[in-house]
Amino acid sequence: MDAIVVEELRKRYKTVQAMDGVSFAVREGEVFGLLGPNGAGKSTTVRTLATLTQPDSGHALVAGEDVVRHPNRVRRSIGYVAQDSGVDWEATGRENLMLQGRIHAMSGTPLRSRVGELLELVGLQDAADRQARNYSGGMKRRLDIAIGLVHRPRVLFLDEPTTGLDPEARAAMWVEVERLASQESLTILLTTHYLEEADRLAERVAIVSRGKVVVEGTPTELKAGLRGELVTVDLADANGRAHEAVSVVHLVEGASEVVAEGQQVRARVPNGAKAIPLILSALEERGFPVSAVTTARPSLDDVYLHYTGRDFSREDQEGNR
């Protein structure tokens, strides 16, 4: 049974089409990732599913309830951890969780027991009675997640759960999410623009670009669907002629999906070791000196490039601006 069903959601903010026919489904008990660069429409999608934003059109069910027709029923079934923290920094970790429980009409021994359980689950039991303002970034994010779990939701939305964390804290958060998925028997929908995060945490992903889902599947399936290797050539002095270099590389036997990004030319080839000498020779003969060349097996970045024709990192930086 599907815990989340999304069909043709659309939302426009003035000149920005945030969702442009978004469709996907998430199975019960699954960790599902919405992967895409900044500005792709991931957060708008999650806010719609969490009943915080109404779509212009389309249809969505969460825990069997329509997000537009029955928002209060949906809210009782979900936990939502937004990008911006909802923690009261003057209160302790325990007080934050107790307050959230009371908001959900919990009290007495059941609430105290649940708070103690969650503090242990997210590794904050030793810091439970310290003011949240004194927590590290990773501890604050774990408290955010615990707050979203107090009322035992069936579906948990994690919107960019590791944004702003340093690499060490991000890795620790991945461990927490993996533990959460195994111990709480939740359906988890997480949004992320970190390729390695989606690859590690999500059982399936939907890759989102410019308000649309461009492909969906397990990370392994998506990468396996790209045959061969990716060759990336850094041109020493393209002088704005990188797109001319694309036509040169196209002529190399076996080269496909050839694109230019700045001073780089990328191509997919059946065998990198055999193709690289041919590509270098062809470019140099046509007056394109090369400063560096690399080859790599398919990654989710390559999947994004394959289905959109655009570089993930570059688009992520543009979306952030």
CATH code: domain of residue 93: 3.40.50.300
Residue at 244 is within a domain: yes
Say whether both 142 and 254 belong to one domain. Answer: no
- Same domain, residue pair 126 and 254: no
Pairing label, strands 31-35, 204-209: parallel
240 and 203: one domain? no
Cα angle for residues 179, 183, 184 (degrees, 5° grid)? 115
Q: Tokens 């310290």 appear where?
A: 130
Residue written as token pair 């590389």: 249
Please tell me whether residues 203 and 181 are part of one structural domain: yes
- Together in a domain, 213 and 291: no
Asked if 280 and 150 sit in the same domain, the reply is no
H-helix or E-strand spanning residue 189: strand 187-192
Quick one: tokens of 111? Answer: 């609430």
pTM of the model: 0.83
Residue 125: inside a domain: yes
Do 131 and 263 lie in a common domain? no
Task: Assess if residue 318 is contained within a domain.
Answer: no
CA distance 9 to 212: 9
Residue 157 contacts residue 49 (beta carbons within 8 Å) = yes
Q: How many structural domains are present in the chain?
A: 2
Is residue 316, in this structure, part of any structural domain at all? no
Q: Is residue 302 part of a domain?
A: no
Same domain, 214 and 106: yes
Q: Say which CATH number the domain at 279 has.
A: 3.30.70.100
**What pLDDT tens digit does each residue of the chain (321 aa) get?**
899 999 999 999 999 999 999 999 999 999 999 999 999 999 999 999 999 999 999 999 999 999 999 999 999 999 999 988 889 999 999 999 999 999 999 999 999 999 999 999 899 999 999 999 999 999 999 999 999 999 999 999 999 999 888 888 888 889 888 888 888 779 999 999 999 999 999 999 999 999 999 999 999 999 988 888 989 999 987 677 888 999 999 999 999 889 888 889 999 999 999 999 999 999 999 999 999 999 988 889 889 988 888 888 888 887 766
Contact 205, 46 (CB under 8 A): no
17 vs 234: CA distance, rounded Å? 34
The C-alpha angle 75, 108, 85, rounded to 5 degrees, equals 45
Tokens at residue 209, please?
A: 């670009």
Note whether 122 and 78 are within 8 A (CB). no
Judge whether 311 lies within some domain: no
Question: Are 215 and 264 in a shared domain?
Answer: no
237 and 212 share one domain: no
pLDDT reported for residue 129: 97
Residues 137 and 106 in one domain: yes
Same structural domain, 181 and 257: no
Give me the long-range contacts of 65-73 (CB less than 8 A, separation at least 24): none
Can you give the residue range of the structural domain that contains 215?
2-223
Give pLDDT, residue 321: 63
